[in-house]
Structure 1
Amino acid sequence: MAADYDEVKPDVAESRNASIEALKEANSPDARSVVLELDETDTVDGVELPGADLSGEELIIQVIPQAPDEFTCYSCFLVRHNSQIARTKDGHNYCIDCEA
């Protein structure tokens, strides 16, 4: 008698059906309830809304000057290490990423 090797074994088929039934019976949240919960938490104090008046806020940033072994790419304007200079044209340096 020829054996059908593509046929699913009975114990595998039973466990597959059991896991599908377990997923169907699980108490998963409804998609609408999740959206409602997210909408309710969006208005919590401390969240900045678009168009909010931020004129009283002060932003403190420490600016680090460009090092002697760095250059600013004339194409992407990012500060890079001198080892990433791909070419120099008209006194302007271009990085490897912009030349790729």
Structure 2
Amino acid sequence: MATDYDTPRKTDDDINEDSIEELKARRVDKSAGSVDVDEFEQAESLELPGADLSNEELSVRVVPKQADEFTCSSCFLVHHRSQLAKEKDGQPICSDCA
């Protein structure tokens, strides 16, 4: 059940002011459960890992490494020169790995 964090919270005085009838009515409303049918339909649309994707085509534009970029020798990601932390044995290390 979703929680709305923007709603005002009740203080101890407000809780004590609730009548018995209101509390009983709330309890009856909460106990009347309903089944959400959409959950099953959403589960059918999910693809499991290892699914056959042989007929799928990816379209990704690959840009070569620029002059102001380097490849970290620890995580092997391409970073901008501003993220160069140090060089270990002549190999660049990014600030995330340092």
- Asked if these proteins are the same fold (TM beyond 0.5), I'd say yes
CA drift of 1:42 comes to 1.8
Matching of residue 43 in structure 1 with residue 44 in structure 2: yes
Classify 1:82/1:12 alpha carbon distance in 2 versus 1 (closer, same or farther; 3 Å). same
Q: Which runs of 5+ in 1 are unaligned?
A: 1-7
- Which whole-Å deviations, capped at 9, do the CAs of 1:43-97 have from their partners, x for residues lacking one? 24xx434443221211111101112111111111121111111111222100111
Q: Give the 3-state SS of the residue equivalent to 1:80 in structure 2.
A: strand
- Which whole-Å deviations, capped at 9, do the CAs of 1:25-52 have from their partners, x for residues lacking one? 3257738x34x652344224xx434443
Matching of residue 15 in structure 1 with residue 14 in structure 2: no
Distance 1:83 1:68 in 2: 12
Q: Give the 3-state SS of the residue equivalent to 2:40 in structure 1.
A: helix
Question: TM-score normalised to the size of structure 1?
Answer: 0.61
CA drift of 1:20 comes to 4.2
Q: Give the 3-state SS of the residue equivalent to 1:42 in structure 2.
A: helix
Q: Comparing both structures, which one devotes a greater share of its residues to helix?
A: 1
Give the alignment partner of residue 30 of structure 1, picking from 30, 33, 46: 33
The number of residue pairs the alignment matches comes to 87
Distance 1:17 1:95 in 2: 63
Q: Percent identical across equivalent pairs?
A: 44
Could you say what the CA RMSD is over the residues aligned between the two structures, in angstroms? 3.2
Greater C-alpha Rg? 1
Classify 1:19/1:79 alpha carbon distance in 2 versus 1 (closer, same or farther; 3 Å). farther
Question: TM-score normalised to the size of structure 2?
Answer: 0.62
